[in-house]
Amino acid sequence: MLDRIQTQENLRKRSVIQLGTSCLCLLCLDHEESLSHLLFSCRFAWCVWMEVYKWLGVRSVLEEEARTHYTTCA
């Protein structure tokens, strides 16, 4: 929720990655790697979440951003 995971988007904001450098998600190569994408909308991450949920016996719908996920769970 504090957006502190060192995604490529956050590293670019902190000038660790230069502005012209590609920040595509290394898991799917489709979208920029941001917190929301990495945890909620990346197709690879979605498959991992679904396998974890299946293993736990949980049926769920994933939200698209951390704030929404935690406000609907509370």
Vertex 55, ends 41 and 46: CA angle to 5°? 10
Q: Does 21 fall in a domain?
A: yes
How far apart (Å, rounded) are the C-alpha atoms in residues 63 and 12? 25
> What would the pLDDT profile of 24-66 be if each residue is shown by its tens digit?
999 999 999 998 888 888 999 889 888 988 898 887 766 655 5
Q: Enter the tokens of residue 17.
A: 């990655």
Q: Does 26 fall in a domain?
A: yes
Q: Does 52 fall in a domain?
A: yes
- Tally of structural domains, the chain: 1
The pTM of the full predicted model, rounded to 2 decimals, is 0.63
Q: Enter the tokens of residue 30.
A: 């489709």
User: Which residue range is the domain that position 38 belongs to?
Assistant: 8-73
How far apart (Å, rounded) are the C-alpha atoms in residues 61 and 48? 13
